Amino acid sequence: MVQPDDSPLADPFSTIEIRSYFVRHRNALVVRGHFAPLFVDYYLHLAQNKLVLSQFQDAAMKDGLAALTLHLASRPWNEQHAWTLHFQKPLVNLFLCGDNQSSKVAGRIFDRDIKDTRTNLFFSQLIKEGLSEPRTSTVEFNGSNIFRATEHYYLQSEQRMGRYFDYGDEEYVFVSAQPGCDLPWLEALDTEAIRELDKQEQLSLLETRFYHFECGCTERRIWQVLAPHCRGGAEELFGAEEHIDVSCRRCGANYRIQREQFEAFLASAL
């Protein structure tokens, strides 16, 4: 029996460049990038898996991927982050995840069987080398704007100011306060000020990182997720069926799991 390949194709993704700058005399970090290539890969992912989003879901995913990626680029290299934004109107969950070491970002929309919590909630999880357990936080927020929700998360959970700006043409900018930051300046920034930032402020390039849209899920990894639910045998999942359809909980990719192959995997895992 041919086993599924557990290795992603060699660099089939469009990589985007994210640059970080220190703003002298303002003590702020500026992170910015052009996201069009990453969005193209995300739309290809939707098409390949026959995933259809509403207008709100589509805008939320794009803004969410931009917000998380810029956040990742401002963080240490040894961190992984996962966010879930729960919206009441419309009742959906937006899931986003990213890993600085692999330079991967991914996400998906959940719009079925969503629990009504009566308030919007921002859940965050940080996994980092040296932490015995993931660090988590939950923050309530208002409205449906991803960037404003993330800025509120920064104030409440990160305990510092962070501002997001849509520069246009799928370019986004994130400015976050560092120790000794000129907070009135940061709070007063608007899109026009961001456009003039290179002229009005002294920016020092700190780092360039590269990211792409990829979950990393494979059929074998789906088997590994399903296996703990089949301690009594494959019939617990399959019943009398010869296959089941499963979607990845991180990116929504669709997999048709064949019973015969899965049973062989369970037997080899014993």
pLDDT in tens, 259-269: 999 999 888 87
- Determine the Cα–Cα distance for residues 256 and 241; give it in Å rounded to an integer: 12
Q: What is the pTM of this model?
A: 0.92
Distance separating alpha carbons of residues 262 and 260, to the nearest angstrom: 5
Predicted confidence (pLDDT) at residue 249 exceeds the cutoff of 90: yes
* Residue 179 to residue 230: CA distance in whole angstroms: 51
Short-list 80, 95, 62, 97, CA closest to 171: 62
> At residue 85, does pLDDT exceed 90?
yes
> What pLDDT does 232 receive?
75
Helix (H, G, I), strand (E, B) or coil at 229: helix
**3-class secondary structure per residue, 114-177:** CCCCCCEEEEEEEEECCCCCCEEEEEEECCCCHHHHHHHHHHHHHCCCEEEEEEECCEEEEEEE
H-type alpha helices, the chain: 36-48, 55-73, 146-153, 183-188, 191-195, 197-200, 219-226, 235-238, 259-269
Q: Which residue from 31, 106, 121, 34 is spatially nearest to 73, judged by alpha carbons?
A: 31
Can you give the pLDDT at residue 233?
Answer: 80
* Token pair in block for residue 26: 């303002």
The pLDDT of residue 257 = 95
pLDDT value at 2 more than 90: no
Is the pLDDT reported for residue 253 higher than 90?
Answer: yes
> Per mean pLDDT, which of 10-24, 133-147, 256-270 is the most reliable?
133-147
- Average pLDDT for 79-105: 97
pLDDT of residue 270: 60
On the question of pLDDT at 9 being above 50, the answer is no
Interatomic CA distance for residues 107 and 96, integer angstroms: 4
**Res. 201: pLDDT tops 80:** yes
More confident residue, 90 or 129: 90
Determine how many CB atoms are found less than 10 A away from the CB of residue 13.
Answer: 19
**Does position 6 have pLDDT exceeding 70, yes or no?**
no
Helix axis angle for 55-73 and 36-48, nearest 10°, is: 130
Percent of the chain with pLDDT over 90: 84
Name the band, by pLDDT with cuts 50, 70 and 90, for residue 93. very high
User: If you average pLDDT over residues 67-78, what whole number do you get?
Assistant: 97
Specify whether the CB–CB gap between 33 and 17 falls below 8 A. yes
